Amino acid sequence: MKNITVIGGGNMGFTYAASIYDSPLEAKIQILEKSKERIDAINSLNTIVAGDDYAVLRDSDIVFLAVKPQIAPDVFKSVKHLLHKDQLVVSIMAGTTIETIQQGLGLDKVVRAMPNLPAQVNLGTTTYVSSPEVSKDELEFIAAILASTGEIIPVASEDQLDRSIGVSGSGPGFVFYMMNAMEKAAHDLGFAPDEAKRMIAQTVEGSVKLYKENNISLEEWMGRVSSKGGTTIAGLNYFEEKKIAEEIKNGIAVCVARAFELGGK
Ligand SMILES: NC(=O)c1ccc[n+]([C@@H]2O[C@H](COP(=O)([O-])OP(=O)(O)OC[C@H]3O[C@@H](n4cnc5c(N)ncnc54)[C@H](OP(=O)(O)O)[C@@H]3O)[C@@H](O)[C@H]2O)c1
């Protein structure tokens, strides 16, 4: 039985704690939170225990860092004296490097993970990378923790982890952008908000299902919904003329550049 302590019981920290709690993993999970209201809200669910007594960190096997990166230096200062070398730290903080965490906490075993928001509905995508001090068995256990929220993808380096922010980490924001544009168009075309929502949600979900369940490229799928001289090809040709695909690629590049900037590169 592993003792896991999550520091930061906000959106992501709570999502992970709840997913681990619901999973068959042999783990005892608790949350350390600063906000009294949040502690009360979590404890009122009668599942995971939340509190503000940092001393529990002494007996934790795994410490899961889920606070905002800006406050990481303060958190490091307040918990460093409670931690020891055998413990393993998992961080989902964007931009905070493994080296910064090792120095800040005075330990070696660190896994850096980059989840995304659909983790909240068990359809998350998490990329991750570890320091060499993490053993194969330890990494397997951490991978199982991360997999409790959805898909996991190990990456070879921290640079690759930062690059994954452009595809999966920030990806939901880009998908919502496209859906938002479709929703506005649907309203302009006279569909009621409820109708537009159902049309867009099912169209996206159905397209994703086709993409996931068949070994067919996206270009081929675009071809399959387009007949010569038809409606879909008319819309797609307009997007091509306006270089929308190129601009999406540029937007992703700007996002990745920001991820590197936050990581001090
Ligand atoms: N949300 C995403 O989609 C996403 C995706 C990938 C990575 N991440 C990463 O996940 C991390 C958490 O993001 P989030 O959206 O879950 O943020 P959040 O909802 O603000 O959660 C952070 C929580 O930590 C609490 N906290 C602050 N200082 C603390 C301390 N010293 N000890 C214990 N708890 C403390 C905060 O309380 P107060 O509100 O009172 O300060 C808050 O409840 C961030 O580092 C972010 O980069 C998030």
pLDDT tens digit at each of 265 positions of the chain: 899 999 999 999 999 999 999 988 888 999 999 999 999 999 999 899 999 999 999 999 999 999 999 999 999 999 999 999 999 999 999 889 999 999 999 999 999 999 999 999 999 999 999 999 999 999 999 999 999 999 999 999 999 999 999 999 999 999 999 999 999 999 999 999 999 999 999 999 999 999 999 999 999 999 999 999 999 999 999 999 999 999 999 999 999 999 998 877 7
Q: Which residues contact 125 (CB under 8 A, 6 or more apart)?
A: 115, 116, 118, 150, 151, 152, 153, 168, 171
d(CA 241, CA 234): 11
Tell me what pLDDT residue 46 has. Answer: 86
- Can you give the pLDDT at residue 246? 98
| Ligand 1 atom 4: residue of nearest CA | 116
* 169 touches ligand 1 (CB under 6 Å): yes
CA angle (101, 104, 109) in 5-degree steps:
45
Q: Where are the domains of the chain?
A: 2-156, 171-262
63 lines ligand 1 (CB under 6 A): no
Which atom of ligand 1 is closest in space to residue 35's alpha carbon?
40
Contact 147, 123 (CB under 8 A): no
Instruction: Report d(CA 97, CA 206) in Å as an integer.
Output: 38
**Rounded distance from Cα 175 to ligand 1 centre (Å):** 23
pLDDT of residue 264: 78
Determine the CATH number of domain 2-156: 3.40.50.720
**pLDDT for position 239:** 97
| Ligand 1 pocket residue status of 32, Cβ below 6 Å | yes
Atom of ligand 1 nearest to the CA of 38: 43
The whole-number pLDDT of residue 149 equals: 94
Cβ of 197 below 6 Å from ligand 1: no
Whether the CB of 118 sits within 6 Å of ligand 1: no
Domain 171-262 in CATH 1.10.3730.10? The answer is yes
Nearest to 101 by CA among 144, 72, 133, 68: 72
- Measure 69 CA to ligand 1 centroid, in angstroms: 8
